[in-house]
Each structure stands twice: as C-alpha cells, then as structure tokens.
Structure 1
Amino acid sequence: MEKVGLVLQGGGSRGIYTAGVLDYFMEQELYIPYVIAVSAGACNGAAYLARQRGLGKIYHMKYIRDPRYFHYKNLIKKRSLFGMDFIFNEMPNKLEPFAFDRFREAKEKFVVVTTDCTTGEAVYFTKDDCEDIFHVIRASCSLPFLSPKVTINGRKLWDGGIVHPVPFMKSMLDGNQKHIIVLTSSCPPSEWMRKLSFVERLFSRSTRLCQAFIRHFRIYYETLEQVKEMQKEGKAFVIAPPAGTFLRGFERQEEKLEHYYRQGYQDAHTQFSGLCTWLGLGRNS
C-alpha cells in the first residue's frame, strides 16, 4: 500500500470518534503508511502508531472528571482550564504509559500540524523531528486563549486546526494520491469564533495570526467542499459521524463520550469492506 495518507481531524472531545475508528483499524491490523493529524487527532494518531488499542479512548474519557484534567483552578495556576502538564506529561509517562519505543520504531510516517503564533502559518513536525512527541502534540492541542502558547525551537505555537482543520493538502504535497479522511463532526463549527471582534481587540487586525483566525471558517468550508470533490474523483475515502450526530467540543458526560466512541468504531466496521476494496487490498472485516 503506497501513496496513501490517513488524515485525522481534531475537534476536542469529538476526537473520541476517531479513537473508535482507529481502534477498529488496529483490531483489523490495518496500518496506513502516512498519518497526518491535528489537535485531538494527533493524540489518536500517536496511539495508532504505538499499536495501543484503547489508549485514545482513555486519553479522551477516563480522566474527564479529574480536576487535574480540567478545572477552573487550573486557569489561575497554569493559565489554562485544562491541566496540560497532567494530560501531556503525567498521563503518557506515568498513569497510562505510552509505548514510546514502539512508536519510534513504527514504519509509518507521522506528521503533526501546529500554528505559528507570529506568522499565522502552519508548522509541521514528524515523529523524527523531536525527542518528546507529546510536547508537539501539546502544541497542536493548545486552544487559543484557553491555553498558553507552546514554544518549540524558538517558535510559539498554538492549535494546528486554526490554519489546517483537515490537513489533507499536506498529505497531497507529501506525495500521497489517496487519502482516508476521518472527520469528527457532521455539524458546522461552533458559532463563538464567528464573532471575531474579540480577536481583533486582542491582536492588531494587521497581524498574520489575526488574519488566520478570520480566514478559519472560509478555509474550513472550502476544505469540506474539496473533500467532497475528492470523494467523487475516488481520491478520498471519508469516515464521519452520521448527519445530525452531535457532540460538544468539550464533553464531560461519559455516556455521550462512550456513544461517540462506539459510533466511530461501528462506522469503521460498516465501511471496512468498502475501504479495503478502495485500497485494493481485497480483504473483508
């Protein structure tokens, strides 16, 4: 299987849908040679390369009511509602050990998307670019205004979804001709970022980061239209929640998270035979 990319959207808690999809892929031992991910998708992608079935679900769900994971006091102590040190250090290194060696030894290429807070441009990292992949994933998951910027190689970085909400273009530029695209929502993005006056107050309107925010929704909808065209041309295979399915970007109700996870797993199962045919693998679930 050559020149095939697996593209993973972010979406906060909605990323548990992708965890379900990838758990089914791992169960079927389907590993795509190129994986590019943004934000929550990067957590799932890392677990996929490490062959740790179930870990993505754990990261999204197990500690959701733990104050170390999310609490208003974190905003005072760490300038973030989320316990970023807990999520990206204590969890993978102590509580839910990540298979770092297996991840590094994986043959698949892994690309994580971040946004440069100075230039407003995408910055890409591969698993070979850094010693601590979770520091990069932390940058890709750092929500604007809700988390501090993450500095890597002298660059201050935020959530990669600002500039590339569904980063299939990078997959194309890297030479892939087919793309499995896992989306995490069938609904338009949250309305709050449409009201950009607060962005303009925080940044000069002329700054490149401000312009990146302003372009975000246009890019998002243009991206979805491009994905539809790629589907028609046979260049993309899309796995996404059914129309009308909804989960908040940050959800704390375990039953809703469990349902969204199972939806992803079931959708992957239902579409697996068609996916294998599309990939030319000639095998069924």
Structure 2
Amino acid sequence: MPNRGIISGTQVVIEHSRYARYLEGRSALVAQGGGQRGIFTAGVLDAFLFSSFDPFNLFYGTSAGALNLCPFLCRQPGLAKAFIMELTTSPEFFHLFSYIRRKQQMNLDWALERITHPPYQLDLAMGKHILNGRSAYAAVTNSATLHDEYLPIMTEQWFDTLRATCAIPGLYYHPVAIGEDEYVDGGVSAAIPVQEAWRQGARNLVVIMTEIPEPQKAKDEVKDIFSGMISQTDSTWFSKPISAIQHHWEQTIGNWRTDWNQFWEAQTMRINNREVYKGRKGHSEEYLNTINGGRWLFGAGDVYRLSHLLGDKFDSGLADLLMMHYQTYALTEEFMARPPDDCFMVIICPSEPLRSNALMSRKEELQFDYELGLEAGYRFIREYMTAKEEYPVTSSLTKREDKSNIAGYSGSGVLTRSDKSGYFS
C-alpha cells in the first residue's frame, strides 16, 4: 500500500500503524478549490470546528479552498456554509442572463465586502490569534509568468489576497494587483497546493478534495497532449515549484499550442453539437468534466460554452492558462498517486460525486454536499484518533485532541467500511 489513505463519509482506506509514524511531524491541511463545490470542504471544516480538532501547522488553500480556511481559522462554524449558500447563490453575485446579455461578470467584490461586516463578518483578530506562529497561505497565479505563488491569508491585505486566489479569468473583471505584481486564480497553476506544503516541510499531508480521486484511471485526451512532459519515476518534478520548470515550458509551448488549439476546436464543436445532450444527463456531464478536468474552467463549463456561442474567441492568453493548468494538475495527480517516501498523505473526499456545480447550484444540492462534508470530516477525526491512540509513537494525546471532546466519537475506534449512519439527524 502506498503511503497515503483515502477517507470519505462511508469508506476508509488507510493503514493506521503506518500513518501514526507521521503524526508527530509537521502537519499541513490543504483545501482544493471548486467554486460552490467548496460547500463540501465547508462541511469537513465545520466538523473539525464542532470537534475542537486542529492539529495542523500549515494551511494551504486555492480559490474556494482558501475562502473556506478563513472561517475555520477564525473559529466561526457555519460561516463558510452561509457564504456559499446565501451569498454565492444571490443574483448580485452572478446572474447568468446578465452575463450573457451584458457580459456582467462575477461580482466577487460584493461577496467579499459582505464578510467585512455583520452578519457575515470574519473575526480576523481571532484568526490571527489562533494561528499563533502557524502559517496559512492562499495559492495565486502570477499573471505575467503563470508561476504559482503563495500569499499569507491573515494579513492586512487579506481582502486582496482572497480576491486574487478567486480571480477566475473570463469570470472576474481583471487580474488583482498586489504590490508590483498582478495575480489570477490559483487554480491555474496550483489547483491543489499539496506539493508546496510538502516543499515547506510538512510530512503529514491532509488534503480535502471536492472530487473523488481516480489515480489509476487511463489518461484522457487532454493528458495525451502533455504525456511527454511527465515521467512517473522522476520525483524531481515534485520537489520544484513551477518556476523551476519554466524553461522547459517555454521550449515546448509552441508545439503544444498547435496541438491544443486543434484539440480545443474539436472539443468545442463536440460540446456545441446537440447530439451530445441527447444522451443520458450523467453521460454528458461526465464528458464535460473530462474535458475541463472537473475543475477548470473551474467547473463553469456552461458559462464558457454560452460565452463561446456568443462570439468570444479562444485567444492565446486563455490557451496558455489552460495549458498551464493541465500541466501542473497532471504533475499534482502524479504526486498524490505516489507521494514521496518521507511523507504520508490522507485524502478526504466525497463518498459520491458532488451534486453541486462551480456556479448556479441549487440550495438543496449544496445542503446535500455540505452534509457529505460533515460525514467525511467526522470520519477523518475518528481515523486520526485511532492511529494516534492505538499506535502511539512518542507522546500521548494532547488535551485538545482528547476523544471525549470529539463530537460524534463512539468510543470504540472501530469503523465499518460501509457505515452510512453519519453523525447528525
């Protein structure tokens, strides 16, 4: 078994004795983005808050993942859920027909302004106090170099940092200026910033994903374009930031663009062909998730397709962003499928495909996915405590991590893989 585990609300695949050896080291919590699909992450983090569970040294989030980390650090359970369910579903935030008719883009600034005052106000003072020497970062993409960078969240420029990590090209007005640089969505270059957490010394890597990992799946059509870039046995790719492989990127980008443009033109025609939608709904959605990775254009495929039909061109700038996303995400998938020997990775994921979308989700879908997150969060805590207590390494449980303080803990430490009872009614 590789040195990783996968935990959802209904399934557990982890070797507790092996995981226990990494619990005393530097720990990182990493949150993937995904727009409104981040409601799953909100559920996981609320389970942690309800259980007074926070053994982490480092925090990394991308886009919605970074937003979700803020209420967690500020100790405000329910705030991330309210932000997604009440603010991002408002027509003031995004209105499809306004986007179509007037190209009115996503009003991220309006939503972020709402968390500067009640009833959605972030308790930033509490967040800074809770960090107390620990570090929390949002992944962003430098718009000039397309390199991944990591900006601290709990600072005086927190508002611009959150804008930058969520500045989706095509849906947000422009790159966000911070200092002398401009940034766009972190999902372009670091959709799941787990490699950065590892580079910074974390060896217990806990990753919250908004999709079900499929490490053994065959390469899809997109990955075929980049297959020459990735060696499954070359671990040096994993230990370097994207800036370190930029020279290779620049040498091959011309050839890529030719192949990519041909690929995207064919896929766009296929998407726009009504025959695609005459099949089963699940089949068409599965195909659309395949061509945008289920992540980018950040799951907002419907918005992009409508924009394309209205005459927007697929320019070279967008091609570069998409290529960077697929290149870096493919490297991240390899890293997560076979983590380095000096760490242990636990992936917290949904027990079934999320019902919500990146945008335009129904509230009942969001509520369902939030509850999936709660289940997965509580299940992870139970597995963590099992490893910590039954396979002690150097120290006993801290008072903060005592099982008696953990909501939903049964006391047995034994879980059945098919348990679907959850921890709430």
> Does TM, scored on the shorter chain, surpass 0.5?
yes
Q: In the TM superposition, what whole-angstrom CA distance separates every residue of 1:214-244 from its partner, at most 9, and x where no partner exists?
A: 1322432432332132399861111001244
Contact 2:165 2:185 in 1 (8 A): yes
158-167 or 270-279, which deviates more: 270-279
How do residues 17-166 of structure 1 correspond to structure 2 at under 5 angstroms? 17-31=40-54, 32-72=56-96, 75=99, 81-106=105-130, 107=132, 108-127=134-153, 130-148=155-173, 149-166=175-192
C-alpha distance in 2, partners of 1:246/1:169? 28
Contact 1:115 1:160 in 2 (8 A): yes
TM-score by length of 1: 0.86
- How has the CA–CA distance of structure 1 residues 277 and 79 changed in structure 2, closer, same or farther, with 3 Å as cutoff? farther
- How has the CA–CA distance of structure 1 residues 77 and 200 changed in structure 2, closer, same or farther, with 3 Å as cutoff? closer
Q: In the TM superposition, what whole-angstrom CA distance separates every residue of 1:31-72 from its partner, at most 9, and x where no partner exists?
A: 122110000001110111101111110111113442222225
TM-score by length of 2: 0.59
Unaligned runs of 5+ in 1: none
Letter in 2 for 1:254: K
Matched, 1:217 2:326: yes
C-alpha distance in 2, partners of 1:247/1:231? 33
- How has the CA–CA distance of structure 1 residues 80 and 18 changed in structure 2, closer, same or farther, with 3 Å as cutoff? farther
User: Based on CA coordinates, which of the two structures has the bigger radius of gyration?
Assistant: 2
Contact 1:4 1:34 in 2 (8 A): yes
C-alpha distance in 2, partners of 1:91/1:168? 27
Q: In the TM superposition, what whole-angstrom CA distance separates every residue of 1:175-208 from its partner, at most 9, and x where no partner exists?
A: 1111000001127856356999x8995236xxxx
Matched, 1:167 2:196: no
- How has the CA–CA distance of structure 1 residues 94 and 167 changed in structure 2, closer, same or farther, with 3 Å as cutoff? same
Moved over 6 A (4+): 76-79, 231-234
Contact 2:188 2:321 in 1 (8 A): yes
Contact 2:195 2:332 in 1 (8 A): no
Matched, 1:185 2:185: no
Deviation at 1:246, TM superposition (A): 4.2
Partner of 1:227: 336
C-alpha distance in 1, partners of 2:356/2:339? 26
Partner of 1:203: 316
- How has the CA–CA distance of structure 1 residues 158 and 138 changed in structure 2, closer, same or farther, with 3 Å as cutoff? same
- How has the CA–CA distance of structure 1 residues 91 and 244 changed in structure 2, closer, same or farther, with 3 Å as cutoff? closer
Contact 1:6 1:179 in 2 (8 A): yes
C-alpha distance in 2, partners of 1:77/1:116? 30
The secondary structure found in structure 2 opposite 1:101 is: helix
Deviation at 1:79, TM superposition (A): 6.5
Q: 1:270 aligns with which of 368, 372, 379?
A: 379
Contact 1:74 1:83 in 2 (8 A): no
C-alpha distance in 2, partners of 1:223/1:14? 20
The secondary structure found in structure 1 opposite 2:29 is: strand
C-alpha distance in 2, partners of 1:103/1:74? 36
C-alpha distance in 1, partners of 2:25/2:191? 24
Contact 2:33 2:63 in 1 (8 A): yes
Unaligned runs of 5+ in 2: 1-23, 214-285, 404-408, 410-425
Contact 2:140 2:164 in 1 (8 A): yes
The secondary structure found in structure 2 opposite 1:93 is: coil
69-78 or 179-188, which deviates more: 69-78
Partner of 2:28: 5
Percent identity (aligned): 23
CA RMSD of aligned residues (A): 3.0
Deviation at 1:154, TM superposition (A): 2.3
- How has the CA–CA distance of structure 1 residues 147 and 233 changed in structure 2, closer, same or farther, with 3 Å as cutoff? same
